[in-house]
A and B are shown apart, each in its own frame.
Chain A
Amino acid sequence: MRTFFEQLFRSQVWRSVFRHGLPESNRTRAEAIFFNFFLHVHPTKVRKRSVRFNYTWGLGGLSFGLFIILTVTGALLMLYYRPSAPQAYWDMKDLQFVVSSGQFLRNMHRWAAHAMVAVVFLHMLRVFYTGSYRPPKEFNWVIGVVLLVATILLSYTGYLLPWDQLAFWGISVGTNMARAMPFGIGEKISFLLLGGNIVGENALVRFYVLHCFILPVAAMVLMGIHFWRVRKDGGV
């Protein structure tokens, strides 16, 4: 068995994918990071303090983990969902009773979404209480606040999609809040968001586009900048 793996790791095919050898020396361990597209967001060495779990509580990483889970489960949900009224609601019912593991899929997406709002907020508190917003990290804090808002908006736009009573009235309450903005701005914004004066089918399509395309893409770009800057600002 051992020799099988040894041979495999030495084979040309394996080596064409992972150019470094087994991470047995500090050199190959460093190469495992910087020869890897995904891992090279990391430096090859990190401060001992910042990998301690009770410094970051892993909260930034968990926020990102939740985002990945939401992207995967969300893409699968999109296969069964049509953003039109009342079809959206019947698609929910199908997910519950017809699609295999459909209910589980919905549950994962729903609970991960709630969790993400909480975890991102907690991550912000961690960053604040460790004083990690200090220069040169000021701007990354600002990006963070925008990410917090984006996370809440992502969660909120998703809330309308099941097209049940909870969804309809939850969004009605929220868009009524927006209406309170002075000088008619609120009316305009609410009209723009809903594609009308009430929460109807236009609103459903708009929220769908925001939820499945515009906001996730914006969040991904912001996260990219956020992670990049964590390194440029000298690491955690």
Chain B
Amino acid sequence: MFKMNAEKDFHSEATTDAKKTPKRIAFIKERTAARVKKEDEEMVMTFPNLVLKEVIAFEMLVIVLAVISLAFDAPLEWIANPEHTPNPAKAPWYFLGLQELLHYFPPVVGGVILPALAVVALIVIPYFKINLKQEGLWKESRKQTLMVLLLSVGLVVVFLLAFKVYAMLIPTLFVTAFMLVPYFSKRQNGFTGWLGTRPLSWWVMTWFVTIVIVLTMIGTLFRGPEWSWTWPWEGVY
């Protein structure tokens, strides 16, 4: 027998017609949430499992940096001289993608709008449902997806062509080509199948990172006097 409170927190029903009312009794007490509990993930003790790894990783880091520092000296050129402009004048490597942008776009676009857009876009990623989706890009409404994709890429391509930014155009077309592979191929396994499972956010980020890497590489390795195209074997400026 169950001991019940004055107020019943369940509802019971009995009939003889099993087709109408299947005989099933479930007691759901108020306190018990009726959701399925996720199976608990396997846990390990932080000490030593994690702490040891951290210590080893830090020691490796110090060793690798020390070896690099013994082998390569930090650069130090002549004393600063405002009269003597080096050609080309380059910012540190992580800004060379930006400097490359300035080569194509007017300063407001390349130096302000595009980088600001990139930072804002990064910040807002988690706040848009579309970035939380985990289904592959082509999972549903394929035709519509194709239209929207071609339209957006088309706009970007026109914009890039207008400013003759081939350094961004070519990677954009490359990434788009990969996006389209799962649309035309029905293969479910291998690389194609894997591409098919990639959500939209994955593609946008991968496109962004590809552009960042390409622009930074060009700015670092392929730009010489007057920001002209030079091959790395002709000298890295």
Contacts and interface: CB of A to CB of B under 8 A. Distances in A.
A96 B57 contact: no
A141 B125 contact: yes
Contacts of A224: none
Contact of B50 (A46, A169, A186): A46
Given A117-B94, A138-B126, A164-B80, A145 B119 contact: yes
A177 B86 CA distance: 17
A134 interface: yes
Contacts of A135: 126, 132
A112 B61 CA distance: 10
Looking at chain B, what size class is its interface with the partner chain? 35 or more
A186 B112 CA distance: 9
Nearest to A166: B77
B98 A177 contact: yes
B127 A165 contact: no
Interface string B49-68: 11101100110011001101
B42 A62 contact: no
Given A62-B61, A69-B65, A168-B82, A155 B76 contact: no
A156 B69 contact: no
Candidate in B62, B72, B90, B122 with the most chain A CB atoms within 10 angstroms: B122
Interface of B: 41-51, 53-54, 57-58, 61-62, 65-66, 68-70, 72-82, 84-86, 89-95, 98-99, 102, 107-108, 110-112, 119, 122-123, 125-127, 131-132, 134, 202, 205, 209
26 contacts: A23-B47, A33-B51, A47-B41, A47-B44, A48-B41, A48-B43, A62-B61, A86-B79, A89-B79, A92-B76, A107-B74, A111-B69, A111-B72, A114-B93, A125-B205, A133-B126, A133-B131, A163-B80, A164-B79, A165-B79, A166-B75, A166-B76, A170-B92, A177-B98, A181-B108, A181-B112
Interface of A: 23, 26, 29-30, 32-33, 39, 42-49, 51, 53, 58, 61-62, 65-66, 68-69, 85-86, 89, 92-93, 96, 103-104, 106-112, 114-115, 117, 124-125, 128-129, 131, 133-135, 137-138, 141-142, 145, 148-149, 152, 155-156, 159, 162-170, 172-174, 177-182, 186, 198-199
